[in-house]
Structure 1
Amino acid sequence: VPLWFAPEGVKDEFSWRRSTDFEHVAAEVKAVREGVGLLEITGFAKYTVVGSDAAKWLDKILACRIPKPGRMTLAPMLNGNGKLIGDFTLANLDNDEFYIAGSGIAEEYHLRWFETSLTKHFPESADVEIIPHGTEIVGLSIAGPKSRELLAKITDADVSAEAFRFMDIRDLDIGMVSCLAGRVSYTGDLGYELWMTPDNQRYVMELLQKEGEEFGIRFFGIRALNALRLEKNYGSWATEYRPLYGPLEAGLSPFVSIKKESDFIGKAAAIKEKTDGGKLRLRTFIVTAQDADVIGDEPIWFGDDVKGWVTSGGYAHNSGVSVALGYVPKVIAAETNGWFVEILGKRCPATLQTEPLFDPKGKIMRR
């Protein structure tokens, strides 16, 4: 997936500071927040899990509750120490068939964990098949306030808010081809993910471009996606979500069901973390930056002492502020002021942002 889409004649100038991409990424963000944006999402890892024991196996390796047929959920995966080793979108297509999307860079790592956990915790006779798709399934995502209107133009199905709810998933005929469509978006806006076979992707992409022209549809890249997710305090794999952190520390405890009957991997440790409170907290900071933003691993100061570290960040174009996500000790995690984030050797004043900059109650993505 491109980092950003450069107009003709514009070249990428490499710098530790804001560069030639800045205004163009801002335009991509604007297109999403005001109209509709189009993103290629094939880079996610995709798996199908089938079999009469599929739900039971997933209930063992994932800390979430298994969604009902036609529904999706965020699905943290823990190791035996209760630390995060994966975060997925889990979709129940049928009680014997599930679709999982996760980090592309961790695909082989996760696949090894899947296979190991199956042989370790289930008999050889268990009816579970794990199918990694690689690029045999590709995807496109549309996001923004006009995304539902666009989707309604290219399908005969009812995609109204009542008929196609947030976190629903179903097969949809898009033009002349069938796609698996989920109502979810990493932008935090109204949005949909469309999954299809490679031979159909170009057709769907061109159909979206043609029918989305009246809504100002525009491609957006990874840097715009980063700017959009920062406004929602969304973490990402390998930065905020890593085996260093527990789900409570990472803000994922709402998706960990310690009350479910399954003795899922890491359950005892997750219960202990909830009881003890963990040591760290993932926090979002608004940074008084000048011409550069964090990229990760910068020190977070509280007063005159380094107390934490940045995991990721950047400029949130829609909100017009520089944002840093990072971990700090639990005992000072509620302090609003007194923070500094170091950028290129300079301590920049920072303020704790206690709620998302965009749609803090999450109403827009559910409307």
Structure 2
Amino acid sequence: MSADDIEKTSSETVKGLKGINAADSSICLVNGTEGKLLYRGYNIDDLAENATFEEISFLLLKGELPTADELTKYQESLKQHRTIPTELIEALKKLPPTAPPMALLRSMTSLAGVYDEDAESEDVEKRLEISIKLISQIPTIVAAIHRVRKGLEPVAPDPSLCHAGNFMYMLNGEKPSQDATRAMDLILTLHAEHGLNASTFTSRVIIATLPDIYSAITGAIGALKGKLHGGANTEVLKTLFEIGSMENIAPYVKKVRAEKGKFMGFGHAVYQVEDPRAKHLKELSRRLGKETGEPKWYEMSIEMEKLVYAEISRNCNVDFYSASLQHYMGIPGDLFTCIFAASRIAGWCAHILEQLDGNKIIRPNANYIGYEERPYVSVGQR
């Protein structure tokens, strides 16, 4: 490449940085052409079928799957950190219960950093411990938000339950079924990491300036809160409720198609083929639909998937079946993005630790398209 070619390339603007490599990372491979997703070299299909979220989060943080002894110690560490300061609960009770759950999560996460005496530590081991603490406590905060806004007291963590089972217990106040626990574990696993998405990139940009980890995670939650990032499965559930019955699906699909509208939960910004995560939620939605005596939402999803694909030749993504699945789990639609955050916290922390290892501040250029240099004109002559 000539000097002229280099200069030309460097002056071009790529909106949204699509296709631009912004960092070297060994955490995740997202291959949209082949529909492949790897966590630290492990295929998401293999992990979804065999691993627990505890193993997944350990893998993302440390680079390898844990041995039996390492897993036991890691699980104990997660359990030890589940309880959040009582000051956070009291602060939460004073916030408007009508506030969006993601706004509450953003604010409570920031406040949690104030009560962590190690928050400002630059020690590598302390930063790892904070990451483990956040992976453990974000679900506790999410569950507390859910309970308090319903006028209920938060449920204390149960150390006898696994990470996913305890999360469900803190949300609903009763020990979950095996299928519900498996469903939560799978949701956490499938959403744990996905490369340099907007929220993950945000966390790396923030931590690169060397603040505390809580600041970077708060920023990531803010990015995830945006309508163009988290929340697609919330819209899928709204759509299912709007349609209401099997006979209304075909007219709805035709109407959206005629109006050139968008089918929520279909297609993906990266995957040109089937989202490799989607199929793993489908069977659990069927099973929980049967268990709860409400197979309707699963059956409607099956029919809608078939009709939408026939119209636009696009597969459903991970958000589509997670909508009916989480509904069966007793999780309200407006809490779905908080559940997403309770999963993605593992990926965010892994990227934060990776960024800090050999850190360089992230400072891209902007392609200036404004005026050429011009003289100041006094106010009376303007």
TM above 0.5, yes or no, is no
Q: TM-score range by the shorter chain?
A: under 0.3
TM-score scaled by structure 2?
0.27
| Higher RCO (C-alpha under 8 Å, 6+ residues apart) | 2
Q: Name the structure with the higher helix share.
A: 2
Q: Name the structure with the higher strand share.
A: 1
